[in-house]
Amino acid sequence: MSQDYRKTPEAIARLTPKQYLVTQEDGTEPAFRNEYWDNHEPGLYVDVVSGQPLFASTDKYDSRSGWPSFTKPIEPDAVTEKTDRSLFMKRVEVRSSGADSHLGHVFDDGPSEAGGLRYCMNSAALRFVPLAELDEAGYGRYRALFENQENAR
């Protein structure tokens, strides 16, 4: 099932001021004062603009940075990367591939056993879809990612 995850004027109009600042103006929300940095529930993190699946809770870990951090995107082509030279340093910016939403940055200080990357994301760029709601929200095809978590319950 192919989904078209684009930015629309209607989607932009629904954003809160903070979501707009982060996704459309490349902003950053404060560490430890954002919605998902300490979320431990199983589920998907999708682009707040387009609904494109970006990250799974199975790849989320506590980086102690104060932002939700993941070892990899849900699919390699879910995100694009750009060189970011703001703040007098060189970083790698991460954007959603469908709606071109600014999500955060990727760093090479993640868990080595999981590839060594840390996708440090802004909660304001994400919408969390709990595991129990995947099917009704149209993300049922990702349920297999969580089979081990469901069996452990």
> Is there a contact between 143 and 135 (Cβ–Cβ < 8 Å)?
yes
Cβ within 8 Å of residue 18, ≥6 positions away: 27, 29, 124
Catalytic residue check, 91: no
Beta-bridged to residue 81, according to DSSP, are 94
Q: Pick the catalytic residue from 49, 99, 120, 129.
A: 120
Determine the Cα–Cα distance for residues 128 and 50; give it in Å rounded to an integer: 13
The residues carrying an active-site annotation are: 120
